Amino acid sequence: MFSKKSGNMAKAPASARPAGASTFSMLGSDTAITGNIEASADLHIDGRVEGDVACSALVQGESSEITGAIRAETVRIAGAVHGTIAAREVVILRTARIEGDVAYDTLTVEQGARLQGRLSPNGGQTPPAIAQLPKSHEAELVLAE
């Protein structure tokens, strides 16, 4: 019934993937991680992370909570974030609650989103001294529904 087949059953190396194909990883809502996450893949996080997250693209679920810095090419935030976000493209959905600074190239914020921190339109690169930005850049943003 269960038998080994002869031959090599190893997966093809990443370099053998078709051009344009990306990998995708998901952390479910029952997952809690303490520590930093670094991935070359796209991440979907529905669980809880206490640590920094660095990846190609991040999608955060509504019930998710991230405590730490986020660094990615694109981010889509729907849950709670306590920390800085640096990305080229940032989308903050209406269910998002962010306490921290956001550095971006392009920014989309839906009505109802909550953001307490500084907005920095600087190409998604975290400024060396983001904490020393003038108070005029500080904002608390709550878009009414």
Separation between Cα atoms, residue 102 and residue 125, nearest integer Å: 10
CA end-to-end span of the chain, whole Å? Answer: 59
Half-sphere exposure of 103 (CA within 13 A, CB side): 20
- Mean pLDDT of all residues belonging to the chain: 80
Residues paired with residue 49 on neighbouring β-strands, in sequence order: 33, 66
| Residues 40 and 57 sit within 8 Å (Cβ to Cβ) | no
Residue 64 binned pLDDT confidence (cut-offs 50, 70, 90): very high
List the single range of 23-32, 79-88, 89-98 with lowest mean pLDDT. 23-32
Which tokens sit at 5? 């087949």
- Which whole number is the average pLDDT over 140-145? 55
Q: Which residue has the tokens 């370099």?
A: 15
Summarize pLDDT for 69-92 with one digit per residue, the tens.
999 999 999 999 999 999 999 999
Summarize pLDDT for 124-142 with one digit per residue, the tens.
554 443 334 344 344 455 5
DSSP state string for 28-63: -TT-EEES-EE-SSEEEE-SEEES-EE-SEEEE-TT
CA distances from 122 to 78, 103, 106, 139 (A): 22, 6, 9, 16
